[in-house]
């Protein structure tokens, strides 16, 4: 009774893995000792090197064991998260720097290693890219593990907990998440983290409700408190009242019912109530993601991000290597389409050691994507030939990212035609009628969409960047994240401009950004005339249900009304009104 007498306390974070969990919390605080710096004699260097090598070997064995566990329980794709960890313990540059510093400064190897690794991590953490910033956490994770081994520490105690609990931590490393007792972890909540953090990725893979970005929850909470965790809305509720528990009990029973209904939609078509078929595709990043495409009832792949072939490696992928990867994906989804986006690398997203680039102050506005490809035609041609060869095995389409105007588009198409000629000369089979599209994600491309539409087979709108560029809002900057508004009147007008230009020139238009997976905005996209929607595979059933619940007539009327509204909130409210009428249970 005393617990129930306490006032309810709510912590707001970011929900990154949906679902509701309830139970006692276990608060994790790092038990690593501070690494002291002390002088060693030259005669002790050999002994320090031996300690270091032993710790690296121990760490490598531990990482390989975790990979094996993950591969067996939730699949090889997620085990790949630890490839970056292995690279750290095998990185000769880092190891050589530790040995050099050890001999030069004559101090203990654990302190030297911590210093060198911290410098590496700090450099990565300053890069303006969420993916690469997360790699800094990989280094920090491995550093702690190596130091733990150097200090002779046992694995973290919370990993062996046998009672059901909700884990609350300042930050969870990938190895924490991989080795914890998943049968006993009901939910996860961390002070740090983002939607792209490994904690979020792993929690979603394990189907564990999770919240990140709680800031200081670990400082204010003690192990044993009873909480309710809402991984959908990012709420951690301490000492929930009976009313709160009753409210969430209703939500959970509705959620279970909705999930059951959505599973039944897998084999159905995404056709509106008045008979208009909307192609519903999935976005993927890795070949292993293909299974989720069919499992969730998508009609092919609307965006295959190829840059992950280039990251975490020291050499560029060969034409044959790429061809085999693309062909495998094309064969799996055939006869449905596979739209391959040529790689969006450059600026802040270059594979280390593969291409020489200088730092850029503004990488998102810099030398990336099609701009980089047009200046590195050998790399570009290697990829284009691989895609063309794969197109002989399935319905493959090519899409150029970050097109800003006609000159870039024409140069890209010209290089593609050169690749076709090269393949003809060598007698290589390829799909000569491969459709070519432009990603519309820069305002200049949206405004001149009528010019670009005459020279391609389709448009796919990258709403993430289009909104970011149109509103001058960096999506990963927490201070201004509230200004990133998909329903801004300017964004609505740009989307209409693109769709109208496509249809006036008899080409189809799709959306492959996050807007396509936001069921609150599906009425808006259908009313604007989008022919295709491509979202994360797990969101496809929800989007399908939304499409099946609407008529094109009511969606067009919605667009007519919203074009007269003046603020993002007014437009969003009107969208939500229609969405709630047609599929309110999905929004809840």
Active-site positions?
198, 512
Q: At what angle do helices 568-587 and 540-549 cross, to 10 degrees?
A: 100
Which 3 state secondary structure label does DSSP give 167? strand
Backbone angles phi, psi at 301, to 5 degrees: -120, 120
- Smallest CA-to-CA distance from 148 within 121, 125, 176 is with 176
- CB of 283 closer than 8 Å to CB of 303: yes
Q: How far apart are CA 376 and CA 374, in angstroms?
A: 6
Backbone angles phi, psi at 359, to 5 degrees: -65, 145
Backbone angles phi, psi at 194, to 5 degrees: -140, 180
User: What does the block give as tokens for 230?
Assistant: 């809402």
Q: In what helix (H) or strand (E) does residue 227 lie, and over which residues does it extend? A: strand 226-230
Taking the alpha carbons of 136, 138, 142, 145 in that order, is the dihedral positive or negative?
A: positive
DSSP string covering 238-249, please? ES--HHHHHHHH
- CB of 518 closer than 8 Å to CB of 486: yes
Measure Cα distances from 53 to 37, 88, 89, 253, 516 in Å.
19, 13, 10, 53, 49
Q: b/e string for 371-380 if b means 16 or more Cβ within 10 A? A: bbbbebeebb
- CB of 163 closer than 8 Å to CB of 133: no
Measure Cα distances from 383 to 434, 461, 569 in Å.
15, 22, 43
Query: How many C-beta atoms lie closer than 10 Å to residue 290's C-beta?
Result: 20
Q: How far apart are CA 368 and CA 310, in angstroms?
A: 14
Q: How far apart are CA 297 and CA 267, in angstroms?
A: 6
Please provide the distance, in angstroms rounded to a whole number, between the alpha carbons at the two ends of the chain: 31
Alpha helices (runs of H) in 443-536, residue ranges in sequence order: 443-447, 449-452, 463-471, 489-504, 522-528
Categorise residue 160: left if φ over 0, alpha if ψ from -120 to 50, beta otherwise.
alpha
Q: How far apart are CA 171 and CA 218, in angstroms?
A: 10
Residues 6+ apart with CB under 8 A from 317: 309, 310, 325
Residue position matching structure tokens 């290589």? 428
């Amino acid at each position: 009774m005393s617990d129930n007498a306490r006032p309810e306390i709510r912590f707001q974070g970011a929900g990154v893995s949906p679902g509701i969990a309830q139970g006692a919390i276990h608060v994790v605080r790092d038990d690593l000792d501070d690494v002291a710096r002390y002088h060693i004699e030259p005669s002790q260097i050999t002994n320090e090197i031996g300690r270091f090598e032993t710790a690296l070997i121990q760490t490598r064995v531990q990482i390989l064991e975790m990979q094996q566990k993950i591969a067996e329980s939730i699949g090889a794709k997620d085990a790949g998260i630890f490839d970056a960890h292995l690279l750290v313990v095998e990185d000769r540059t880092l190891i050589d720097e530790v040995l050099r510093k050890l001999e030069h400064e004559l101090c203990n190897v654990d302190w030297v290693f911590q210093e060198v690794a911290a410098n590496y991590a700090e450099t990565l953490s300053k890069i303006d890219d969420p993916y690469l910033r997360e790699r800094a956490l990989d280094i920090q994770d491995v550093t702690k593990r190596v130091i733990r081994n150097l200090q002779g520490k046992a694995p973290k105690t919370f990993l062996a907990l046998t009672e059901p609990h909700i884990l609350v931590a300042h930050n969870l490393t990938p190895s924490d998440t991989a080795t914890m007792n998943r049968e006993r972890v009901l939910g996860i909540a961390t002070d740090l983290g983002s939607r792209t953090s490994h904690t979020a990725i792993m929690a979603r893979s394990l189907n564990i409700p999770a919240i990140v970005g709680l800031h200081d929850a670990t400082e204010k909470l003690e192990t044993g408190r009873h909480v309710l965790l809402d991984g959908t809305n990012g709420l951690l509720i301490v000492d929930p009242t009976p009313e709160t528990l009753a409210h969430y009990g209703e939500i959970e029973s509705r959620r279970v019912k909705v999930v059951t209904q959505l599973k039944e939609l897998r084999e159905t078509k995404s056709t509106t109530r008045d008979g208009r078929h909307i192609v519903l595709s999935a976005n993927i990043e890795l070949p292993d993601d293909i299974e989720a495409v069919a499992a969730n009832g998508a009609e092919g792949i609307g965006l295959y991000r190829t840059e992950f072939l280039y990251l975490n490696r020291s050499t560029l992928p060969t034409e044959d290597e790429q061809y085999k990867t693309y062909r495998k994906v094309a064969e799996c989804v055939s006869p449905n389409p596979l739209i391959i986006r040529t790689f969006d690398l450059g600026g802040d997203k270059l594979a280390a050691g593969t291409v020489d680039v200088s730092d850029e102050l503004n990488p998102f506005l810099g030398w990336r994507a099609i701009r980089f490809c047009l200046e590195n035609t050998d790399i570009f041609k290697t990829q284009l030939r691989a895609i063309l060869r794969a197109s002989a095995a399935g319905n493959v389409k090519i899409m150029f990212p970050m097109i800003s105007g006609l000159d870039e588009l024409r140069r890209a198409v010209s290089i593609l035609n050169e690749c076709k000629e090269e393949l003809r000369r060598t007698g290589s089979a390829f799909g000569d009628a491969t459709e070519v599209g432009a990603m519309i994600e820069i305002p200049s491309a949206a405004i001149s969409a009528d010019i670009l539409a005459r020279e391609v087979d389709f448009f796919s709108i990258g709403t993430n960047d289009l909104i970011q560029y149109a509103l001058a809002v960096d999506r990963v900057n927490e201070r201004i994240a509230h200004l990133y508004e998909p329903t801004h009147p300017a964004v609505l007008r740009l989307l209409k401009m693109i769709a109208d230009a496509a249809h006036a020139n008899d080409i189809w238009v799709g959306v492959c950004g996050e807007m396509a997976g936001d069921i609150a905005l599906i009425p808006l996209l259908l009313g604007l005339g989008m022919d295709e929607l491509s979202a994360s595979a797990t969101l496809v059933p929800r989007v399908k249900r939304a499409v099946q619940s609407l008529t094109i007539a009511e969606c067009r009327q919605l667009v007519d009304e919203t074009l007269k509204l003046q603020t993002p909130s007014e437009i969003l409210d009107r969208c939500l009104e229609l969405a709630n009428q047609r599929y309110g249970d999905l929004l809840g």
